[in-house]
Chains A and B, each alone.
Chain A
C-alpha cells in the first residue's frame, strides 16, 4: 500500500458525459501528479500540482482539468468524454521539496474509466 488513495476504483459512463476522479496523497506529500495509462499510449504524464499550484503540464487535453485543494487532495475532471478516454488514471504523490523534482513518486491504485 503506497498510502495514496483514489476514488472511485471503477467508473462507467457514456460519451459526452463529465466525471471527476479524486486523489488523496500520502500524508505530508505536497505534490500530486496525474497519469493516464492506455494500451496504445502507455503511461502518460498529464499534470502536476505542488501545494495547490500547477507546476508541470503534459499533453493534457483541454477537456481535462485538475486542481489541488487546500487539504492537498486533488481532483481530475474529464468532460465531453469520448470512447478514446477509456483508460486507467493514476494519481501519484511525492515529498515536500519544491526544488527537488526527483522526490520519489508513489502511485495510487488507479481509477479505471470506461466510456461507452
Chain B
C-alpha cells in the first residue's frame, strides 16, 4: 500500500550543527518527493522537491537525497538555526493520482541554542 514513514518522531540538534531527517516510502511507483516544514500554528511550507530520476538536489542550506534502491529519502539542513525548529514532513506523489500527496507522520526538529 501507499505509505510514507519517518524513522524518528523527534530530533534535537545544537545550533550550528547539521541536521538529517530521514524518511522511508513504500510506493515504488512514486516519482516525485517533497519536503515540507510546518511551524506551530501555520500551514506546511514547501522546502525542496526531487524527482525519481535524480539522486540529490540542493537548495539554500538544504539538500535532499533520494535512494530508490532502498526507498529512502533524507533532508539535510546545514548550520541549523533556531528558526529551523519545526515539524518536517516528507511526502510523495503516487503516479497517475493527480495532485494527491501522501504525507509521512512528521519529525519534530528542536534546535538548542
Contact = CB atoms under 8 A, between A and B. Distances in A.
A42 B46 contact: no
Nearest to B4: A42
Contacts, number: 64
Using C-beta atoms within 8 Å of the partner chain, give the interface range for chain A.
20 to 34
Contacts of A94: 99
Interface of B: 32, 34, 36, 42-46, 49, 51, 89, 91, 93, 97-106
26 contacts: A35-B101, A43-B89, A43-B91, A43-B103, A45-B100, A45-B101, A48-B99, A55-B99, A56-B98, A56-B99, A56-B100, A58-B100, A92-B43, A94-B99, A101-B32, A101-B93, A101-B98, A101-B99, A102-B49, A102-B51, A102-B93, A103-B99, A104-B34, A107-B36, A109-B42, A110-B43
Interface of A: 2, 4, 31, 33, 35, 42-45, 48, 50, 55-56, 58, 90, 92, 94, 101-110
